[in-house]
A and B are shown apart, each in its own frame.
Chain A
């Protein structure tokens, strides 16, 4: 049962991502992206990372998608505007390239075959918190600085009265 749910979710995540390639309307694309992200959140949960599953829902599906939808609304994009190129004519080259890349990645990842004995035990948020505010404290500070920088950049770029 566990495996069934996992592979089903994985299939949904991949298919939803693939659907972004085909759709013309930006809102549809955004919806597919949400589906893919939510499915991935479930995968995280199944793998035993409940904290990250929750964060994935909150940050990606909750915050980042809202940004996307907001921008789509503000820019008032309609499907007519970008129907010209649902798939550009020269799609074969990039697709071939991507296929090779995927195969290469598979090869790379399977290079060191590991025995599959490890039980999937959930890693509790507490452990993550300990790691985050223990050895990685400086990185947390750096991330805070990065976010501040992004905030300032966003404010600067969106200020009124730009010449």
Chain B
């Protein structure tokens, strides 16, 4: 079985190569089919590994070849499939396949399908390399690949300057994080002379003491990388703008997979974080802040996709919270359910936008009222799952688990309070959107019917958003806890609060969700009466982070550049101009003073001398190859004679 591992990232990579090199020979439709087949192969191989018992056996290993061999350092192209990787691979390839299928129709009219499918396949390959890599170098390769593809796909319609600059913004912002991750990798290498993950983690726990400086620094640097990729505070500014890309891209990259790469990274290197308790607690703190930030900013958005973008920021915050509390399995659990319901929401939103002539404003979309019932129902399911509607949705189980686990962490009740507030806000913002867009909609003759390749992904994801949570029931319930038991070998068990507290916490959050939905109904009434929430500029602009960065970083940078330019002009042009001017003044003064005198003549002579010199010097620049060669050889002769002296 482990001989087939290379096919998981290999199939999309090969297909991307074929599309890049030979894509011109294929028809557009065949490009889409080729790309989808590659994703399907990757998914099938993942299924095969499940069937072959990868879920219960030892981690699968495959080493393709030695990448670089320098001295005793031999990083390999090698893949490891343990349970953590298995979860990620299944999500990435599964959602990837669905998105590819969805794209066939969504992008059918686009002229640039070759570029689109090339980057989509390359992204899939990069993401799969990232999660399968058995050493940090290969992981970093995948990390950069997905960053590149994200940049290229956000700016996919690059002819509109706004979209192109959104791509650049995402690239530059995540670069800060990537840099930090790279520094972390360098630091680890300098300490251990090896980048193999299993070796590193084992040796780090053995050699470093808990709370030592090196461990803290490494964990901080890795955390920086994770924050950049996962759009957490304070590097979250790129994600809302990243919605400039096509909707399937937003669903795949900016909801289900790439933004969760940071979560994966921390889960993968969690022993390092356990060595640095302060950093681990700050992971939780960042997560909590981001939850509230994202949820509150999502409240005041007008743009359909921006709501979902802020919602993604906030939901990834829950995963960070779980990581920070040491509940790694639960972070992974929420990652999976979030991948289901958030890509469902994006695809549903994409369908609505697609069939409404690219209208993004939710109020305008609400006035259209001819959305197809299928989209409406699947969106409702996604929204309910996102809000954590009790008992029947996957989102309820994953979020509940995280919130319960938070209680026992340091300063747990405080974190819990913020996170629970986030739950309330989540229910409000997503149902606000649902009510505004779909409330007045009824099926009629003008309802556009989406073709099968668009509806099937929606249906599958909707089903998964409902039943995906039944693998892990909340603490204290007489029902299976398969998920955490299954991941017990990978991570330590989560600490739970006493049962009576757990029950009451569960009850409170369920209640909050229901209250949130009710509040949303009230808010929508008010908005329809004209009290737009979007008037709260502070929330609409995402707490003004863009403006803050504009004044704090970009403005000073530009002023510095302007200052330098001004100094430049002052020093060089100013002084030179002044000198020439002074010379001219001197000359005219002299001429006036000693008419036809000696001075005049000498100045004229000087000028003639300069003219002569200029002409001679200019003659060396005569464009004659032989002359240049002659000068070179003369130089050689002189140098040699000097040396022989």
Give A contacts to B, CB under 8 Å.
93-94, 97-98, 100-101, 104-105, 107-108, 111
The complex places the Cα of A101 from the Cα of B637 at a distance, in Å, of 6
B641, CB-defined interface residue at 8 Å: yes
Contacts of A107 in B (CB 8 A): 644
Enumerate chain B residues within 8 angstroms of A111, measured Cβ to Cβ: 644
Q: Which residues of A contact B636 (CB under 8 A)?
A: 101
The answer to whether A104 touches B640, judged by C-beta atoms less than 8 angstroms apart, is yes
Cβ contacts under 8 Å, A104 to chain B: 637, 640-641, 644
Q: Which residues of B contact A98 (CB under 8 A)?
A: 633
Chain A to chain B: the 4 pairs with minimum beta-carbon distance, closest first: A104-B640, A101-B637, A100-B637, A107-B644
The distance from the CB of B642 to the nearest CB of chain A, in whole angstroms, is 10
Residues of B with C-beta under 8 A to A94: 630, 633
Of all chain A residues, the one with the shortest Cβ separation from B630 is: A94
Contact with A along B615-645 (1 / 0, CB 8 A): 0000000000000001001101100110110
Contacts of B634 in A (CB 8 A): 97
Instruction: Name 10 extra pairs, CB < 8 A, besides A97-B630, A98-B633, A101-B640.
Output: A93-B630, A94-B630, A100-B637, A100-B641, A101-B636, A101-B637, A104-B637, A105-B640, A107-B644, A108-B640
Question: What residues of B have a CB within 8 angstroms of the CB of A100 in the complex?
Answer: 637, 641
Shortest distance in angstroms between B534's beta carbon and chain A's nearest beta carbon?
Answer: 51
| Complexed CA–CA distance, A100 and B640 (Å) | 10
For A97, what are the chain B residues with a Cβ–Cβ distance below 8 Å? 630, 633-634, 637
List 23 A–B pairs whose Cβ atoms lie within 8 Å, in order of A's numbering: A93-B630, A94-B630, A94-B633, A97-B630, A97-B633, A97-B634, A97-B637, A98-B633, A100-B637, A100-B641, A101-B633, A101-B636, A101-B640, A104-B637, A104-B640, A104-B641, A104-B644, A105-B640, A107-B644, A108-B640, A108-B643, A108-B644, A111-B644
CA distance A100 to B633 in the complex (A): 11
Task: Identify which of residues 345-367 in chain B touch chain A, using a CB-to-CB cut-off of 8 Å.
Answer: none
Query: Mostly helix, strand, loop or mixed at chain B's interface?
Result: helix
The complex places the Cα of A134 from the Cα of B641 at a distance, in Å, of: 39
- The SS class assigned to the A binding surface is helix
Which residue of B has the minimal Cβ distance to A111? B644
- How distant is A86 from chain B, measured CB to nearest CB, in Å? 15
Q: Which residue of A lies closest to B636 (CB)?
A: A101
The residue on A at minimum CB distance from B639 is A104
Chain A residues contacting B630 (CB-CB under 8 Å) are 93-94, 97
Nearest B-chain residue to A94, judged by Cβ: B630
Distance between B68 CB and nearest chain A CB, rounded to angstroms: 11
Residue of B nearest to A100 (CB): B637
CB distance from B629 to the nearest CB of A (A): 9
* B633 partner residues in chain A, CB cutoff 8 A: 94, 97-98, 101
Q: How far is the CA of A93 from the CA of B636 in the complex (A)?
A: 15
- Closest Cβ–Cβ distance, residue A133 to chain B (whole Å): 14
Report the nearest B residue to A107, measured CB to CB. B644
A27→B105 CA distance, assembly (Å) = 63
Q: Give CA–CA (A101, B638) in the complex, Å.
A: 9
Task: List, in ascending order, chain A residues with CB within 8 A of B643's CB.
Answer: 108
Q: How far is the CB of B419 from chain A (nearest CB, A)?
A: 54
Considering only residues 279-312 of chain B, those with a C-beta below 8 Å from chain A are: none
B644 contacts across to A, CB distance below 8 A: 104, 107-108, 111
Bound Cα distance A18, B368 (Å): 88
In the bound assembly, the distance between CA atoms of A85 and B589 in angstroms comes to 55
**Distance between B354 CB and nearest chain A CB, rounded to angstroms:** 39
Q: How far is the CA of A96 from the CA of B179 in the complex (A)?
A: 59
Closest to A88 in B: B626
CA distance A108 to B639 in the complex (A): 12
Q: Which residue of B lies closest to A104 (CB)?
A: B640
Q: Name B634's closest neighbour in chain A (CB-CB).
A: A97
Q: Distance in Å from the Cβ of B253 to the closest Cβ of chain A?
A: 32
B contact residues around A101 at 8 Å (CB)? 633, 636-637, 640
Query: Which residues of chain A are within 8 angstroms of B641 by Cβ–Cβ distance?
Result: 100, 104
- Shortest distance in angstroms between B530's beta carbon and chain A's nearest beta carbon? 60
- Bound-state Cα–Cα, A22 to B641, Å: 29
Q: A97 to B636, alpha carbons, bound, how many Å? A: 10
Question: What is the chain A residue whose CB lies nearest that of B633?
Answer: A97
- With a 10 A CB-CB cut-off, give which of A104, A105, A107, A111 has the most chain B CB atoms: A104
Q: How many angstroms from the CA of A98 to the CA of B640 in the assembled complex?
A: 13
How near does chain B come to A111, taking the closest CB pair, in angstroms?
8
Cβ distance B593 to chain A, nearest Cβ, rounded Å: 49
User: How many whole Å from B423's CB to the nearest CB in chain A?
Assistant: 56
- Bound state CA distance, A93 and B626, in angstroms? 12
- In the complex, what's the smallest C-beta–C-beta distance from B416 to chain A, in angstroms? 57
How far is B644's CA from A97's CA once the two chains are assembled, in angstroms?
Answer: 16
Tell me the nearest residue of chain A to B644, going by C-beta: A107
* A108 shortest CB reach to chain B, Å: 6
Question: How far is A101 from B640 in the complex, measured between Cα atoms in Å?
Answer: 8
In the complex, what distance in Å separates the CA atom of A114 from the CA atom of B193? Answer: 46
CB distance from A134 to the nearest CB of B (A): 13
**Chain B residues within an 8 Å CB radius of A93:** 630
What CA separation (Å) do A100 and B630 show in the bound complex?
Answer: 13
Distance of B273 from chain A, by nearest CB (Å): 39
- In the bound assembly, the distance between CA atoms of A107 and B643 in angstroms comes to 11
Instruction: For residue B627, give the distance in angstroms from its CB to the closest CB of chain A.
Output: 10
Output the nearest chain A residue to B629 by Cβ-Cβ distance: A94
